[in-house]
Amino acid sequence: MITVLYGIPNCQTVKKARDWLTTHQIDYIFHDFRKNGLDDSLLKQWTSMVSWDMLLNRRGLTWRKLAPEERDNINENRAILLMHRHPTLIKRPILSYNNHIKVGFSPEHYQQLFDGS
């Protein structure tokens, strides 16, 4: 089973997750949203596992820079389109492990996840 951590390298929360994985000697692949991109099928897969609203980062600068008409009346299809176009609209990190995803980082949740495997 392959563990993949999705995010951007300069995000502090992503850095914490990467440090945690390294410290706990968990092999993983890092997928940089900006460098490696994301395709719609992966975003649709994620939204079948967690709600699109959980994935959409409405707190960040990218969201605030969007035109009001892009932010208004957001739905799953529009959110996927925006996240594909602007990957930094995705909450970070996304950990893909054992056919599940974990949105965000918490040392306790990561510990539970890997202890239960």
The token pair at 30 is 């890092």
Q: Which of 11, 66, 101, 113 is catalytic?
A: 11
The yes-or-no answer on residue 11 being catalytic is yes
Distant-in-sequence, close-in-space partners of 83: CB < 8 Å, separation ≥ 6:
38, 43, 55, 56, 89, 90
Mutual orientation of helices 107-115 and 12-23 as an angle, nearest 10°? 40
Q: Which residues form the catalytic set?
A: 11
